[in-house]
Amino acid sequence: MAYDDSTYRRQTEDPTPTDPAAYRANTLAAAEQRRRAEELDGAGETTADVLRRAEADEDGRDRLGIHLGWEVILLLAAAAIGFLLWRLEPDSLRRPALDDLLVTGAAIGLLALGAGLTLRAGVPNLALGPIALAASLQYAEQGDQGLVKAMVPALVFAAAGAIVLALIVLVLHVPGWAATLAAALGVVVYDQLRVAPVAVQGTYDPTDQAFFLFGGFAVLAVLGGALGTVTPVRRWLGRLRPTGDPARRRGAVVGPPVFGALILSSLFAVAAGTLLATQSDGPIVPGTGFEWTGIALGLAMLAGTSAYGRRGGLFGTLFAVAALTLFLDYADRREFDISLFAIAGCVLAGGLVVTRLVETYGRPLHPAGPADWNAAPAAGGNNWQPDLPETWSTASTTPRADRWDSGPWGTGTGQ
């Protein structure tokens, strides 16, 4: 009698799985759990951080081909609108008209930069437009005292408001868009305290620094886009973006990106509003300013920044701002009389389409590898089945001549 037969063995261990695929799946799952536990214990990170890093890696780097291709289209669109503007009035692209065009482009570009930055940080600032309008009204009222005395109070109030707003977002851990919308409504109340348009009192003319202003915006746009493609920078900036349960707190590590994004975007809005006021041909009309919020967010998404904040291009903001600035001047010279709200709606709609494009075609390619388990029968295994073990049968198996019970130790030969 063979006592090492499976019938007489001690069943102290779990039997080996009969399905190789199940064995491999269980082994890989256990290894993955151990790896994540080691990361949590060794690095002091939360589960959300590990999930965010896994999502950011995605087995490869983001594909920039869709961004570069779309940026070529934006460049061609800007060139086409510029050509139409030159055909309509060639002097519009020569100084001094070109200086006005560059200053307007710098102002719109600052709003787009603020929107793109807050999108990447996960706290889209919906108060950009109202802040810009408040800065325009502030300069219109106090501009006769000089540029510095008119802008410093606006910059201080904008920075202080952004700090309070960031604290609300972080302490209460509420969505950034909801908190900034509440702040925007508060700024609208300040804007609409004026019952009549305000004539511009200042005499500051930024056209002398037009090339420097637009060049500074261009450098910031390209530099920001390049930094956004660096994985550690992108991961650090987007710590507040939802991963898993969006209501779960993320800890103090998300504070610096939120503070920085909201403060910088608010200061950009003040500078943009001041530049727009200096270029205004008439008095500043009180309103809501939400049309500029829509234009800023729409331009950021149209430039290639995803509405989810994770992906973005390189030159898209520069080309999108140039195209819209040329179009606004062309529409004004042709007397199209298009509402800024209508333009904002169209730009936002286009930005949503671009978001879907970059999210679909900007994800990294998954590496192709050999299959872990091949269920195809091997050669000669006619009665082998890749299903449950019960489906196997010995109907067509030829009896072997060296069986235990047919030899000299079998039951038919005696002991």
**Residue 362's pLDDT is what?**
73
**List of residues 6+ apart from 29 with CB closer than 8 A:** none
How many Å apart are CA 294 and CA 350, to the nearest integer? 12
Whether the Cβ atoms of residue 190 and residue 136 lie closer than 8 Å to each other: no
Residue 96 tokens, joined: 């001094």
The predicted-structure confidence for 259-316, as pLDDT tens digits, reads as follows: 999 999 999 999 999 999 988 888 888 889 999 999 999 999 998 888 887 777 788 8
**Secondary structure (3-state) at 198:** strand
How many Å apart are CA 7 and CA 192, to the nearest integer? 89
pLDDT class of 51 with cuts at 50, 70, 90: very low
| Average pLDDT taken over every residue of the chain | 78
The CA distances from residue 263 to 122, 184, 258, 362, in Å, are 14, 14, 8, 29
Percentage of the chain lying above the pLDDT 90 cut: 35
| CA 295-298-303 angle, 5° bins | 120
Domains and CATH numbers, the chain: 60-361 (1.10.3470)
Residue 126 tokens, joined: 């919906």
How many Å apart are CA 309 and CA 258, to the nearest integer? 13
Closest CA to 118 of 316, 360, 305, 351: 305
Closest CA to 275 of 104, 71, 77, 25: 104
**Residue 42's pLDDT is what?**
44
| CA 74-80-83 angle, 5° bins | 140
**Residue 267's pLDDT is what?**
95
pLDDT class of 411 with cuts at 50, 70, 90: low
Task: Lowest mean pLDDT of 83-97, 197-211, 394-408, name the range.
Answer: 394-408
pLDDT class of 375 with cuts at 50, 70, 90: low
The predicted-structure confidence for 112-169, as pLDDT tens digits, reads as follows: 999 999 998 888 999 999 999 999 999 988 888 888 888 899 999 999 999 999 999 8
**Residue 234's pLDDT is what?**
78
Most confident of 22-26, 183-187, 334-338: 183-187
pLDDT class of 41 with cuts at 50, 70, 90: very low
Mean pLDDT for 35-41 is: 50
Q: Is the pLDDT of residue 369 over 70?
A: no
Q: Is the pLDDT of residue 321 over 90?
A: yes
How many Å apart are CA 231 and CA 101, to the nearest integer? 36
**Residue 47's pLDDT is what?**
42
**Residue 244's pLDDT is what?**
67
Of residues 67 and 140, which shows the higher confidence score? 140
The predicted-structure confidence for 197-240, as pLDDT tens digits, reads as follows: 888 887 888 888 889 999 999 999 999 888 888 878 878 777 77
The predicted-structure confidence for 101-115, as pLDDT tens digits, reads as follows: 999 999 999 999 999
Mean pLDDT for 386-395 is: 54
Task: Lowest mean pLDDT of 5-14, 279-288, 332-341, 396-405, name the range.
Answer: 5-14
Most confident of 59-73, 227-241, 333-347: 333-347
Whether the Cβ atoms of residue 54 and residue 299 lie closer than 8 Å to each other: no
Q: Is the pLDDT of residue 37 over 80?
A: no
Angle between helices 147-172 and 255-278 (to 10 degrees): 150
